[in-house]
């Protein structure tokens, strides 16, 4: 057997007896540097199914109300879910006011046996979310909407306006600096909290989305947003996002990341990736 025949976690167990523990516990870093964590785009990703996807996403998070009104697309949710899942949707939607926003960007994921590039759904609310409910929705939405790869929670006030454009983003020095600053802040907070060994990987991603712009004001899209993701995996073949408030990611640690990253110039919002692998992948590009 050679080193090429073992998984990442097995290599770490081997190296822990050979080299310094601090080196073994360093976060995995992608070969293409942070470039693979910058979603470059010059135009929004809006296919012919975009509007319907947005409507169904809103039906899911407002299921009880839409069911009572017999919404035209409620059947799309009913046929893809069990009775117990529908009961959960009723409970969640009657206790919380959650907004669902389909973002016009593409992220890589896996649907079935194929790699896909599809939409991302952002959830937001006016109150502290129930993170177990958020994780439930993150599992359900891509199963109902096969053109959605990822579900994230958007920190801050609820998203009022639909996002229909993007901030033109290429791999220039300014864009790379934005992500490097956010990545440094997130990892410094993780290390200071002693959480290096709790999550398998702490990922920061830069997306070309500028929130909180009233369409009637015609404010151009010029800011970007940061997505945080703490994945928990034993072999990186499959994995789940750490639940905020768990031992893997205490809430005060996540809130500190959001607070500090939000202070950076040119950053609109901070999000947290809730999606399991699959349907998402470790990297977004």
C-alpha span between 253 and 195 (Å, rounded): 9
pLDDT for the residue numbered 18 = 66
pLDDT for the residue numbered 218 = 87
pLDDT for the residue numbered 176 = 93
C-alpha span between 130 and 96 (Å, rounded): 9
Q: H or E element: which one contains 110?
A: strand 98-111
Question: Of how many residues is the chain composed?
Answer: 285
- CA triplet 184, 263, 182: central angle to 5 degrees? 20
Closest CA to 91 of 124, 67, 57, 127: 67
pLDDT for the residue numbered 14 = 65
pLDDT for the residue numbered 236 = 58
Q: Which runs of E-coded beta strand occur in the chain?
A: 98-111, 114-125, 148-154, 201-207, 224-232, 240-241, 267-273
C-alpha span between 212 and 48 (Å, rounded): 24
| 29 upstream amide cis, omega within 30 of 0 | no
Report the predicted TM-score, pTM, of the whole model to 2 decimal places: 0.87
Whose structure tokens read 């910058």?
38
Cβ atoms of 282 and 236 within 8 Å: the answer is yes
Distance of alpha carbon 95 from the chain centroid: 23
Mean pLDDT of successive 10-residue stretches along the chain, which has 285 residues: 59 63 56 79 96 98 97 97 98 94 89 78 95 96 94 96 95 94 93 74 92 90 95 66 91 97 98 82 71
31-273 belongs to CATH 3.40.50.720: no
Six token digits for residue 101: 């926003």
Domain locations in the chain as residue ranges: 1-27, 31-273
C-alpha span between 50 and 238 (Å, rounded): 28
Q: Radius of gyration of the chain from Cα atoms?
A: 19
pLDDT for the residue numbered 117 = 80
């Amino acid at each position: 057997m050679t080193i090429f025949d073992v998984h990442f976690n097995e290599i770490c167990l081997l190296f822990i007896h050979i080299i310094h523990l601090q080196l073994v516990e360093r976060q995995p870093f992608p070969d293409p540097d942070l470039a693979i964590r910058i979603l470059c785009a010059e135009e929004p990703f809006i296919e012919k199914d975009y509007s319907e996807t947005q409507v169904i996403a809103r039906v899911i998070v407002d299921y009880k109300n839409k069911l009572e009104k017999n919404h035209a697309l409620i059947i799309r949710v009913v046929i893809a879910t069990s009775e117990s899942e529908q009961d959960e949707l009723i409970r969640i939607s009657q206790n919380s006011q959650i907004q669902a926003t389909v973002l016009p960007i593409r992220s890589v994921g896996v649907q079935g046996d194929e790699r896909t590039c599809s939409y991302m759904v952002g959830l937001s609310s006016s109150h502290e979310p129930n993170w177990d409910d958020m994780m439930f929705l993150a599992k359900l939405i891509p199963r109902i909407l096969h053109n959605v790869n990822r579900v994230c929670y958007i920190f801050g006030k609820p998203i009022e306006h639909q996002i229909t454009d993007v901030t033109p983003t290429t791999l220039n020095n300014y864009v790379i600096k934005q992500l490097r600053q956010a990545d440094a802040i997130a990892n410094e907070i993780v290390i200071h909290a002693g959480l290096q060994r709790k999550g398998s990987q702490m990922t920061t991603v830069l997306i070309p989305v500028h929130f909180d712009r009233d369409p009637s004001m015609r404010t151009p899209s010029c800011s970007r947003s940061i997505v945080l993701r703490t994945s928990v995996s034993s072999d990186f073949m499959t994995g789940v996002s750490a639940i905020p408030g768990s031992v893997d990611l205490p809430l005060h640690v996540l809130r500190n990341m959001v607070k500090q990253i939000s202070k950076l110039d040119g950053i609109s919002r901070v999000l947290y990736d809730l999606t399991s692998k699959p349907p998402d992948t470790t990297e977004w590009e």
